[in-house]
Amino acid sequence: MKVCVPTIGSSGLDENVSPHFGRAPTFTIVDIDTQKVKVVANTSEHMGGFGKPPETMIKEEVNVVLCSGLGPRAIAMFEQYGIEVYVGATGTVKNAIDSWKNGQLQMATDENACKMHRH
């Protein structure tokens, strides 16, 4: 199972969770089964590239996303792709994964989506 966390940089499990999903400079992907860590640059349209972050997660075969928060359109895209999203992640990637494993993060819904992303 692959878990993705939007991050500030490329320090793997010790990297900090980005406060803004779409504008996170990197995505840190952890294979929970093998403990392999991969850091992928955010090349989406939010960062001057192409596509949307959920499309990157599909390419990387991500099953779960752990983030601080995200907008309702991103939540809808992840639902369409069958990727589970949890909000409330803070600290490092390791902290976020531990919080998720301990049931401390909430499943992302339209009700807990970032309000600044409602148009």
- Kindly report whether the global pTM for this prediction surpasses the value 0.75: yes
User: Which CATH number goes with the domain that contains 10?
Assistant: 3.30.420.130
Give the Å distances, CA to CA, from 102 to 24, 31, 99, 105.
24, 17, 5, 8
DSSP SS3 for 55: helix
Q: Among 21-30, 36-45, 103-112, where is mean pLDDT lowest? A: 103-112
Question: Which residue range forms the structural domain that includes residue 101?
Answer: 2-117
- pLDDT value at position 85? 95
DSSP SS3 for 56: helix
- pLDDT value at position 13? 98
Residue 41's CB: how many other CB atoms inside 10 A? 13
Q: For 77, phi and psi rounded to 5 degrees?
A: -65, -45
pLDDT tens, 63-98? 999 999 888 888 889 999 999 999 999 999 999 999
- pLDDT value at position 109? 78
Q: Count of domains in the chain?
A: 1
